[in-house]
Amino acid sequence: MNFELSAELCALRDRTRQFIAEQVIPLENDERQSHHGPSEALRRELVARAKAAGLLTPHASTEMGGMGLSHVAKSVVFEEAGYSWLGPTALNIHAPDEGNIHLMEEVATAAQKARWLRPQVEGLTRSCFAMTEPSPGAGADPSMLTTTAQRDGDDYLINGVKWFITGAEGANYAIIMARMEDGSATMFLSDMDRPEITLERNMDAMDACFTGGHGVLRFDNLRIPATDVLGEVGKGFRYAQVRLAPARLTHCMRWLGQARRAHDAALEYTRRRQAFGKPLAEHEGVGFMLADNDMDLHTARLHIWHTAWLLDQGEKCNFESSRAKVVCSEAQWRVVDRSVQMLGGQGVTGESPVMRIFTDMRAFRIYDGPSEVHRWSMARKLVHMAEKAAEARA
């Protein structure tokens, strides 16, 4: 592996960094946002600025109007965008749209791409991914899916309840995961302005960075024509992995930017703030936290780049993406937690961006699979690989 960035990628990184500093961070205190994220008006302004800067939807293919970035290139640009909690919204690389764009490019038909994907790549629309359900339905275990799809002539009737559906409010279309009569799962596409789809409420969550918040959706005999099945019937779980492996990694990329910003704020504060006759940074306890932050940031970045490189080689990387998700989410969380501690009173008030980053980031250890589930999955694969190796030696 060669970790040296090309001159072109360095220039793109610097251009993104400048855009975030000059065009996005000044809007962080804009009143057009609530506890459920930026408003549609603010989103559209941010998207317009990114489009004018030539940075909109950089991960989409050039055929769809994006920049066709590799996974390694995305890791660099997404980190820079993530330096502001509004940055991913501006570049149109926020969750769940980023993962949905990737999935649609891989699986959707030409007609589905023209109808749903192209306007999304242009920043005109948003989407949501409806898989998670309240108990006893699917959560970390997608096999517990309870939303059903029943064949009715040439159509399917969808019934069920989903919750914690990020971006549901104001989304233009949804990718809906439902269980078939034979127990398999299928993904369906639907416009969100259907009377059979009810947004029951937005859930109050710790984070406030996702446009549309996290909604509870109910589907009552939602009729979906067979032409709006995403991919093949019965392959929903397989497509979920197509989406989730890269999406776990892009979460790590974006949140790395936020962790780096928290560290930068702590470093600047402790360099200037005096206590007991010298700057805080010169006290050993604070200095150790700064050093630990640097090591955690570097470790997270290396895991991201390594997994991104493997994805660029065509590897599936389910194991590696699980490992990166755990390592990065926990390392980045430690960085932000230490930064709050170093800032002291400033760290628990809105006087610094670190408090906001703290509340936004805590859920990252749960999104796209809790750390414990990824560890359990990795352990099973490690045991399986050890057994296969033992058999080969026998």
Q: What is the 3-state secondary structure (H, E, C) of 100-111?
A: HHHHHHHHCCHH
Q: What is the DSSP letter of 21?
A: I
Q: Do domains 127-233 and 237-393 have the same CATH topology?
A: no
What is the rounded average pLDDT of the residues 360-384?
95
Tokens of 17: 């960094």
What is the rounded average pLDDT of the residues 350-356?
95
Look at residue 316 in the predicted model and tell me its pLDDT: 86
Look at residue 194 in the predicted model and tell me its pLDDT: 98
pLDDT (tens digit per residue) in 138-185: 998 999 999 999 999 999 999 999 999 999 999 999 999 999 999 999
Look at residue 394 in the predicted model and tell me its pLDDT: 86
**Average model confidence (pLDDT) for the chain?**
96
Q: What is the DSSP letter of 22?
A: I
What is the rounded average pLDDT of the residues 324-351?
97
Look at residue 15 in the predicted model and tell me its pLDDT: 98
- Which fold does the domain 237-393 belong to in CATH? Butyryl-CoA Dehydrogenase, subunit A; domain 3 (1.20.140)
Percentage with pLDDT > 70 across the chain:
100
Look at residue 2 in the predicted model and tell me its pLDDT: 74
> To the nearest 10°, the Cα dihedral for 284, 287, 293, 298?
-110
Q: How confident is residue 82, by pLDDT bands cut at 50, 70 and 90?
A: very high
The answer to whether residue 226 scores a pLDDT higher than 90 is yes
The answer to whether residue 323 scores a pLDDT higher than 90 is yes
Look at residue 5 in the predicted model and tell me its pLDDT: 92
Look at residue 181 in the predicted model and tell me its pLDDT: 94
CA distances from 89 to 18, 57, 126, 308 (A): 16, 10, 10, 22
Pick one of 3.40.1280.10, 2.40.110.10, 3.40.50.720, 3.40.50.1360 as the CATH number of 127-233.
2.40.110.10
Look at residue 245 in the predicted model and tell me its pLDDT: 83
Q: What is the DSSP string of 211-256?
A: TT-EEEEEEEEEEEEGGGEESSTT-HHHHHHHHHHHHHHHHHHHHH
127-130 and 173-179 beta bridge pairing: parallel
What is the rounded average pLDDT of the residues 33-45?
96
Residue spans of the domains in the chain: they are 7-94, 127-233, 237-393
Dihedral sign from CA coordinates of 284, 290, 296, 298: negative
Asked if 156 contacts 224 with a C-beta cutoff of 8 angstroms, the reply is: yes
Name the more confident of 244 and 319.
319
CA distances from 142 to 131, 133, 178, 241, 343 (A): 8, 9, 10, 11, 40
pLDDT (tens digit per residue) in 195-224: 999 999 999 999 999 999 999 999 999 999
Superfamily holding 7-94: Acyl-CoA dehydrogenase/oxidase, N-terminal domain (1.10.540.10)
Look at residue 56 in the predicted model and tell me its pLDDT: 98
Q: How confident is residue 29, by pLDDT bands cut at 50, 70 and 90?
A: very high
